[in-house]
Structure 1
């Protein structure tokens, strides 16, 4: 008969933490950020930790006598093993110098136990009759995500250290003044305004249908990958991989995509397509077309891609087609959580994340149809989380007699760390391609 496995734990580390807290109570500030009572494997260790924490929070003296008295008042002293056990734990370490190291060991073992329990809950649900796989997957994602969010977050850092890092960045900017510091789009005026898309930024590009928002981000991805060798992850929730690559091929080759779609190609189209295949096939572009991808799955895939191939830019087409992976009270709350999550991914991976977004129909009711911030669909959280919010407007779409045929405005409505304003680009509709205006007729 197989013996039951003992859950992960380190009783010596637990005792070391408790003993160090009684020896040097001032170390509690860091320990109480790392550990919660439930992180302790033994019940008596958990109860002693609670007593220590309560004394610390009240500002009372923390030592062997006060801890024993607090446990006695709560009727827990005998439950933990009496004064002898508390005394033995208090003498278990000679100093508190390694307390954070011990606390992290306790937290690690606790996380492993929680992971085992979570896996067990998922397995049990898998045996329940009538349980749908998609529902179970969503619940599993939520349980795992809840665990990851419990990991220790960065705390305070002295301004001295921050200033050193900031000054180094300023020196780098000065040494490369006029040059880009982020991921280039190769749209000259846009890059001049943004200095390229910056690491950790969430960039929202929004437009009404048929304005060319997918074409624009694909052009940005293609330019960054082909011309600057930036590894790009494209998450396409609306179009298949094949449709996306066909668009990119037509754009790179400057071939009418309607002719490609119908197979009605000209003899001159073939050499252009053939020449375009080379640079595209060598470009570090990675495409995922999972329908309704969840925030957790996107994060996992992006992290894995960064480890395996490097990652410089993430493109998502589009935000409202993503799912949270767990039930939300409303669609607005779900979009808000996704928006916050995308900003978190940008910061965690230190890459710009460009997410396309829909606009509501209100823009169609106005005389001036240039989008404004309130036109963003489910806009509150997106507006708060985004570092850059931009809108695409093509006047010829609404005004057939427009003087600005073939011209698109990219309106930077929010720019957390830079200027706002509008940039004009050429739009070659037959190639689904945006270009700098001076190249429009090449």
Structure 2
């Protein structure tokens, strides 16, 4: 008979002694309450009585009230939860048996780690049940499973409060290093001198939007940047190609590196000189740390999941998404397309911040520029959502007037 996954043969991971010690420390030392405040949540405690005592301590402390065995017991009495918390005698025992209040952060870490293990077991059981039930598409199940596991880490990660003087010190050291290095490009170089001069390179945690009307060269520019970053800087690049297949991408890069006419490559009319150039180009590209995903219409969750997986293995330096409007929302609920794009845009920005890498998202423009006397694009022309310009740290437009020669301009 198959074992019920909801009834494991042993108790879930927990350490009652550590729970008692951290609560005891909080009962006798206000400093301990402060020290563990950002380390624990009520559900980190395995025993329900400990959760109730922790709630009482936090509520009293938040209200500026004294925290000790008397006030906590009285507070629980008013809530009608004293008996459920173990009674006055138990609360007194907690305060009298704590080994050392100064070790409260250490006790809290033990409690926290056991809570993480319990969460992993719970998620593992859910994943197993989903596998047995076989409901929904396998791809959707995989996405859901990965999201559940990642959510454990995401929920447990909290930013640390830092004094301004420490932040200023870090920034001063960074500026000093940049000054000593004598480089004007502080981010990931694109390989285009004028663009790097304007942006100082693609900065970590930034969402960069590259926008233009169709057939203006958005993908070509993005591919050139990817090759420059990977070949010249030896920085890994992840390219999500939602519009173009991997075969065409490879051909484009071969032609760019080999300086071979792409039309001759498409028709097979390749001369001896072209073969030599293509061989050399392939040799260089095979060493380039470029990773390609050509999934059709992926949702933002799939992109974030794949990026996280690769970033855990490679020192990922740049993510390129070609292009934003072809992405799908995380859920299948019908939404206004503008709201969907806004959600996708925000998720890309969150991914950039989470992984501390630049994300270059290609975007279509609306037809508005074609209806104006001066067709130069504006931020309001970003297609399907005004949220894109709000989420983007940098917006790049490709535009060339018929009467102008090509050049970069601010």
TM-score of the two chains, using structure 1 as the length reference: 0.83
> What does residue 47 of structure 2 align with?
42
Deviation at 1:30, TM superposition (A): 4.8
The answer (yes or no) to whether the contact 2:146–2:305 under 8 Å persists in 1 is no
Report the secondary structure of 1:103's partner residue. helix
Cα distance in 2 for partners of 1:326, 1:85 equals 48
CA displacement at 1:284 relative to structure 2: 1.9
Q: Does 2:74 align with 1:69?
A: yes
CA RMSD of aligned residues (A): 2.5
Cα distance in structure 2, aligned partners of 1:363 and 1:17: 63
Deviations 1:75-120 (A, max 9, x none): 2111222112111112232433232333233233223322322333
Measure how far apart 1:178 and its partner are. 4.7
TM-score, normalised via structure 2 length: 0.89
Cα distance in 1 for partners of 2:134, 2:311 equals 39
The one of 95, 100, 118 equivalent to 1:95 is 100
How much has 1:273 moved relative to structure 2?
1.4
Q: In the alignment, what sits opposite 1:429? A: none
Instruction: Supply the distance in 2 between the matched residues of 1:361 and 1:116 (Cα, whole angstroms).
Output: 52
Deviation, 1:130, is 5.3
1:288-437 alignment runs, 5 A limit: 288-326=293-331, 330=335, 331-395=337-401, 402-404=402-404, 407=406, 421=410
Which is strand-richer, 1 or 2?
A: 1
Distance 1:29 1:338 in 2: 38
- Aligned CA distance change for structure 1 residues 204 and 101 (closer, same or farther; 3 Å): farther
Provide Cα deviations, 1:385-420, integer angstroms capped at 9, x if missing partner.
22111111133xxxxxx3336x2x656xxxxxxxxx
Does the 8 A contact of 1:141 with 1:325 survive in 2?
A: no
Instruction: Report the Cα distance in structure 1 between the residues aligned to 2:87 and 2:319, rounded to whole angstroms.
Output: 57
4+ long deviations beyond 6 Å: none
In the alignment, the residues of structure 2 paired with residue 304 and residue 141 of structure 1 have an alpha-carbon distance, to the nearest angstrom, of: 10
1:98-146 residue CA offsets vs partner (Å, 9 max, x unmatched): 3233323323322332232233334334444753334434443443454
**Structure 2 unmatched ranges of 5 or more:** none
Distance in 2 between the 1:83 and 1:230 partners?
A: 61
More deviation, 15-24/211-220: 15-24
Change (3 A) 1:317 1:129: closer
Aligned length: 404
Return 1-10 or 43-52, whichever deviates more. Answer: 1-10
Residue 181 to residue 336, structure 1, CA distance change in 2 (3 Å): same
Unaligned runs of 5+ in 1: 396-401, 412-420, 422-442
Encode CA deviations 1:320-352: one digit per residue, 9 max, x unaligned: 333453456734444334333323332333322
| Aligned positions of 1:1-20 closer than 5 A | 4-20=9-25
